[in-house]
Structure 1
Amino acid sequence: MKDDPDHAGSLDIEGLDSIRHMEVSRGSGLVLPTVFVPPPSATPQSLSPAGIGRNGHPPVTRFIRVDDPKSFLICTDGACLGNGQVEPKAGWTSVFGPLEQNTNASVNERLEHQSPLGDFAHPTSNRAELRATIGALRYRNWASEGFTTLVLATDSEYVVKGATEWIRAWLRKGWRKSDGAVLWKIPREWNTEADRLAKEGAQLDEELTFKERMGISP
């Protein structure tokens, strides 16, 4: 990703048909997100307004690209209350449809102390942001809804640069320091609903071990 706040990344998700049964594993680098560069002055709402996806069964309400009915957008965010302090609490969210129309259009949770691979770490803002993107990718079998491209809109530079630039160095070092998606670095003021839900997630009951969240309804 570039430093430009209006850049995003995308990933071909046709290979996610079996996401619900896919084992959690460390990334190999065979598939990496690409950079999405929107038109000047474009916003997530103007490029991907709420619409009915009719390529899957049943039809679903998603943020669908105006010029590509097989591409849709998910807003993600992570929040850490007391970041860097003694007892921080973090939460994450993914918003994949208009909240006023569909009560199942988002998921928000407390950030676990355990990573998907089993190691433990203190809650931080960066961990919460990364957890939100993992949650978005694994929440549903998006390809079964007829979509081939997923755009992840985030206000986290750490997520954007990590997934599109720094990841290559991490891979070379064996991760000592995935999928079919595009990342879009958006201004924080474009992500207010996700920010609110992530902070709500931080107030939920404490989670020690990693908990998979997958949706079963449209």
Structure 2
Amino acid sequence: MCVFSYSIGELRWAGDTDSNVKTIHAGGTSVSPMRDYTNSNPMNVFKAKSGQIFPKAFISPDSEDTPRSLFRPSMEEEPKLLPSEWTSSSLNKFLVCTDGACLRNGAHDANAGCAFVFARPSKWPYFNVVRFLLEDRDLNNQMHRRTSNRAELRAAIHACQVPEWTREGFDTMVIATDSEYVVKGATEWIHDWIKNGWWRSPGNPVEDRDLWEWLLREMDRLAKMGISVEYWHISRKLNEIADRHAKIAARKRL
């Protein structure tokens, strides 16, 4: 069983310090990030048809846009259901920043951490962080070596699951990450992978197929609830908060 660490800290971007960060909940929950929300049994992989719903790439209106300039807290007097998290009122889209990190990448004793970051207007200028240790087994109990790619992909999957975004009143989730593997894999490469039976080339199977199929199941699940998902490739500098917390998760067992 792997537990989360939930933290709250002042919303900051590249170059800011940790002076006001404080943990509000660390290791006090027994919820497992390995739960597959598409099936009541977390260790029973839901056999949905891969590729029914594909995510799209998020294209910012201006090439100079940053998460901070484009997505600002919506402070409406009458928010929809619950307050939208980190939203752009003109786009009706919600932002989550994700990242993964791995120590001794790919080695048998590698440690990898995952994190995602979001903000609530009611807590502004504070943000919420969810971070956890990457598992070494999949939903079928098969072993996988921990890698940075798996950590980045796993963070993107879990960002779709917790909290229950369907109550927030938006119609599009934008997952921002500095991982080209996640963004291009989810929006471009995966089409050919599925077409070729999950082979990149003869004798070269797609890595992390279990997680890619899990991601597609999450796309299907959210689509049925009226939420689409878009992926935004940003620089590591702009993803500094998620990057920092993914490294914290990788350095210690939470």
Q: TM-score range by the shorter chain?
A: 0.7 to 0.9
TM-score (norm 2): 0.65
Letter paired with 2:169: G
For 2:102, give the aligned amino acid.
C
**CA-to-aligned-CA distance 1:76-116 (integer Å, 9 cap, x gap):** 0000012144521100001111687456x221000000124
Paired positions, count: 184
Alpha-carbon spacing, 1:90–1:192, altered in 2? closer, same or farther (3 Å): same
**Superposed structure 1 runs of 4+ greater than 6 Å apart:** none
Q: Give the structure 1 partner of residue 185 of structure 2.
A: 162
CA distance in 2, matches of 1:170, 1:63: 33
Q: For 1:150, what is the secondary structure of its paired residue?
A: strand
Partner of 1:56: 81
Name the stretch that deviates more: 136-145 or 82-91: 82-91
Gaps of 5+ in 1: 1-18, 207-218
The correspondence for 2:157, drawn from 126, 129, 134, is 134
Equivalent positions of 1:97-176 (< 5 A) are 97=119, 101-102=125-126, 105-175=128-198, 176=205
In the alignment, the residues of structure 2 paired with residue 96 and residue 20 of structure 1 have an alpha-carbon distance, to the nearest angstrom, of: 21
CA distance in 1, matches of 2:110, 2:124: 31
- Equivalent position amino acid for 1:55 in 2: K
Distance 1:129 1:34 in 2: 18
Query: RCO higher in 1 or 2 (8 Å CA, sep ≥ 6)?
Result: 1
Contact 1:109 1:204 in 2 (8 A): no
From 91, 97, 111, the counterpart of 1:75? 97
Q: TM-score, normalised by structure 1?
A: 0.75
Contact (CA 8 Å) 2:72, 2:87: kept in 1 or not?
yes
- Shift of residue 203, structure 1, vs aligned partner: 2.5
**Identity of matched residues, %:** 40
Equivalent of 1:194 in 204, 221, 242: 242
